[in-house]
């Protein structure tokens, strides 16, 4: 098992497969995009497979593939298959914006992905264009429906709460959790990346979201399970789905943080809000041994901070790396 300096067990690795994306969400990337990594800078599947195998050997049990948009990376099924064959891996999941999901859901299912997180901040196609700068609402909705038909479970819908932009849809998302077996997860807007439009005026806390949702009826806590992560889970009585609240700003979940992040160019990051990273690609390509790589990973984990410095007052300082490069 892997523990950090504060005795937290580290068993979750988020891998960003690419910095590229087919959307430009206002809270994540500027409309014109950001300078892209060149192909050679991005870890190959072979390199990712090796790092994943070493990490699992050290104590990682759960891997999430993210990005940028993971489904724009070619032959992702080959990677998922290889990851699934690592002895000791217990869970592989994916976070996607859903644009390519309708066409790829079946092949993801066949290589072993059984649950999925899809980001969708609005149920209104015009607003979808405003938030993402693309006209793909119907594709994303069709992707969600296809995932449901195939049997993915749970289907988690990630909604970044943006005051003045989509907070008028909180109840519509709440109602969706009655009708559909989806876990609607509201995520507090985080100040990550230099141009992500974060401001206190745009910020909506989980507490405010719950207060608004309770117009629909009382919310009951749902018992957590293994791998739940930091979401506070709740549900309306009689609902098919659930509500989740992820509160990185208003309620630090640092004491239970179990995660590491690997960026697309192979930098290991110990905290989403800290730009302290370790380059794994260089030693990997210099041909160091497994034992040396393991010791670099272990040393990096010792630098995982006790908690992040963000709180609402004073206003949070932004970390410089773009969310699309960190993987959320």
Contact positions vs ligand SF4 (CB under 6 A): 21, 23-25, 28-29, 67-69, 97, 119, 323-324
Report if residue 169 touches ligand SAM, rule: CB under 6 A: no
Binding string, residues 34-73; x marks residues near ligand SAM by CB under 6 A: --------------------------------xx-x----
Task: Tell me the C-alpha distance between 277 and 264, whole Å.
Answer: 12
| Nearest alpha-carbon partner for 44 in 21, 12, 15 | 15
Could you tell me the maximum CA-CA distance found in the chain, to the nearest angstrom? Answer: 59
Task: Tell me the C-alpha distance between 271 and 140, whole Å.
Answer: 30
Shortest gap between Cβ of 159 and ligand SAM (angstroms)? 8
Beginning with the edge strand found earlier in the chain, give each strand of the sheet holding 12-16 in spatial order.
219-221, 232-236, 242-246, 182-188, 155-161, 116-119, 91-96, 62-66, 12-16, 259-262, 267-269, 277-279
Report if residue 80 touches ligand SAM, rule: CB under 6 A: no
Task: Tell me the C-alpha distance between 326 and 19, whole Å.
Answer: 8
Report if residue 28 touches ligand SAM, rule: CB under 6 A: yes
Tokens of 212: 């608004």
Q: Choosing among ligand SAM, ligand SF4, none, which partner's interface includes residue 55 (Cβ < 5 to 8 Å by kind)? A: none
Query: Which CB sits closer to ligand SAM, 61 or 121?
Result: 121
Shortest gap between Cβ of 157 and ligand SAM (angstroms)? 9
Binding positions for ligand SAM, 6-25, rule CB under 6 A? 21
Report if residue 192 touches ligand SAM, rule: CB under 6 A: yes
Burial bucket for residue 314 (CB in 10 Å: 0-12, 13-18, 19+)? exposed
Query: Which CB sits closer to ligand SF4, 118 or 260?
Result: 118
Of the residues 11, 96, 139, 278, which one makes contact with ligand SAM according to CB under 6 A: 96
Q: Give the single-character DSSP code of 73.
A: S
Report if residue 190 touches ligand SAM, rule: CB under 6 A: yes
Task: Tell me the C-alpha distance between 283 and 292, whole Å.
Answer: 9
- How many CA within 13 A on the CB side of residue 14? 26
Task: Tell me the C-alpha distance between 216 and 175, whole Å.
Answer: 8
Q: Choosing among ligand SF4, ligand SAM, none, which partner's interface includes residue 263 (Cβ < 5 to 8 Å by kind)? A: none
Q: List residues bridging with 95 in a β-sheet.
A: 117
Q: Give the single-character DSSP code of 113.
A: -
Query: Which CB sits closer to ligand SF4, 118 or 249?
Result: 118
Of 94-102, 145-153, 228-236, 301-309: span binding ligand SAM (CB under 6 A): 94-102
Q: Choosing among ligand SF4, ligand SAM, none, which partner's interface includes residue 24 (Cβ < 5 to 8 Å by kind)? A: ligand SF4
Q: Choosing among ligand SAM, ligand SF4, none, which partner's interface includes residue 66 (Cβ < 5 to 8 Å by kind)? A: ligand SAM
């Amino acid at each position: 098992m892997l523990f950090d300096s504060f005795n937290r067990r580290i068993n979750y690795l988020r891998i960003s497969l690419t910095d590229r994306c087919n959307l430009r969400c206002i809270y994540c990337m500027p409309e014109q995009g950001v300078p892209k990594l060149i192909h050679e800078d991005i870890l190959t599947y072979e390199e990712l497979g090796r790092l994943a195998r070493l990490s699992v050997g050290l104590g990682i049990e759960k891997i999430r593939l993210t990005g940028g948009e993971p489904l724009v990376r070619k032959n992702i099924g080959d990677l998922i298959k290889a990851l699934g064959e690592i002895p000791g891996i217990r869970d592989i999941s994916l976070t996607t914006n859903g644009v390519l999901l309708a066409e790829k859901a079946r092949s993801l299912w066949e290589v072993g992905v059984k649950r999925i997180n899809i980001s969708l901040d609005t149920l209104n196609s015009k607003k979808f264009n405003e938030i993402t700068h693309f006209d793909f609402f119907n594709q994303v909705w069709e992707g969600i429906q296809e995932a449901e038909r195939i049997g993915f479970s749970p289907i988690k819908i990630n909604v970044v709460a943006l005051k003045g932009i989509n907070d008028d849809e909180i109840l519509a998302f709440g109602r969706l959790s009655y009708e559909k077996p989806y876990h609607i997860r509201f995520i507090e807007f985080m100040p990550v990346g230099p141009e992500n439009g974060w401001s206190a005026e745009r910020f909506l806390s989980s507490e405010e979201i719950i207060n608004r949702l309770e117009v629909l009826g009382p919310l009951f806590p749902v018992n957590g399970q293994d791998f739940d992560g930091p979401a506070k889970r709740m549900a309306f009585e009689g609902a098919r789905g659930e509500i989740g609240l992820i509160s990185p700003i208003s309620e630090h979940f640092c004491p239970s943080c179990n995660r590491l992040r690997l960026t697309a160019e192979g930098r290991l990051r110990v905290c989403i809000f800290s730009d302290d990273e370790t380059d794994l690609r260089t030693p990997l390509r210099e041909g160091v041994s497994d034992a040396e790589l393991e010791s670099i990973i272990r040393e990096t984990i010792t630098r995982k901070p006790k908690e992040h410095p963000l709180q609402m007052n004073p206003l949070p300082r932004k970390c410089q790396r773009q969310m699309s490069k960190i993987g959320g």
